Chains A and B, each alone.
Chain A
Amino acid sequence: SQTIHQWPATLVQPVGSPLSLECTVEGTSNPNLYWYRQAAGRGLQLLFYSVGIGQISSEVPQNLSASRPQDRQFILSSKKLLLSDSGFYLCAWRYYNEQFFGPGTRLTVL
C-alpha cells in the first residue's frame, strides 16, 4: 500500500528564517506530487506540483520554492519566511483520478 510522510508535524519559526519541509511517498513510483497550503478562509491553495524528478511547476508567485531531488521526495523551501507564510502545509500524490494527502505540517511564523 502507498504511504505519504511529512515532517515535521509542527514548526514555529521566526520571520526571516529559512524553511525546509520534506515529503516522501512509499509504495509507488513516479508519482505526481503536490504541495498545498491551507490558510484561514482560503481553502486548499495549490503551491507547486511535480510530474517527475527535477520538474517543478509553480502555481502561485511567492517566496517559497520546491524541489524534487528523488522520485519519491518533494521538498518545500524558503530562504526567508514571512508572517504570511503561516498555515497548514499539505503534501499530496496523485493516483489516476484520486489524490492522497499527507498528515500536514502546521507552520507558525512569528
Chain B
Amino acid sequence: DQQVKQNSPSLSVQEGRISILNCDYTNSMFDYFLWYKKYPAEGPTFLISISSIKDKNEDGRFTVFLNKSAKHLSLHIVPSQPGDSAVYFCAAIEENRDDKIIFGKGTRLHILP
C-alpha cells in the first residue's frame, strides 16, 4: 500500500514557465514533508521541506504548498530552468517516528528549451 503517491511519472515544462509537481499521501500521522531532486547516477539531494503546521514554505525559486485536509502537497518551481530537469521525489515522515522516511515513486521533470 503506497502511503506517498506521485501519480505523474513525468512532466514536461517550457523553460521560464512554472513547474508544478504533485504529491498525495494517505497517512494522517505524517507531520513533515520533503522534496528531493535526483540526477541520473547520483544520490538524491534535499530540496525543500514543510512542517504540517504550515501551509507554505518558500526558498528562492522553489515553493512547497501543503493542503492537509486534502492530504496533498505540491512543489512549484518558477521560473523553470534547464538544470531543473531531474527526478523529483516527495517524502513524508510520521509523527513521533524516528526510523524511516516514506518516499513516493518520483516524477521526472523535463524542461524544454
Which one of A43-51, A63-71, A79-87 contacts B?
A43-51
- For A88, what are the chain B residues with a Cβ–Cβ distance below 8 Å? 41
Q: Is A27 an interface residue (CB 8 A)?
A: no
Number of cross-chain contacts by CB at 8 Å: 56
- For A49, what are the chain B residues with a Cβ–Cβ distance below 8 Å? 99-100
Q: Are B99 and A44 in contact (CB under 8 A)?
A: no
Q: Are A97 and B44 in contact (CB under 8 A)?
A: no
In this complex, the interface size class of chain B, counting residues with CB under 8 Å from chain A, is 20 to 34
Within 8 A of A (CB), among B11-42: 32, 34, 36, 41-42
Offer 15 A-B interface pairs, CB within 8 angstroms, sorted by A. A34-B100, A41-B105, A43-B103, A44-B44, A88-B41, A90-B43, A90-B44, A97-B32, A97-B34, A98-B46, A98-B49, A99-B34, A99-B91, A100-B46, A104-B41
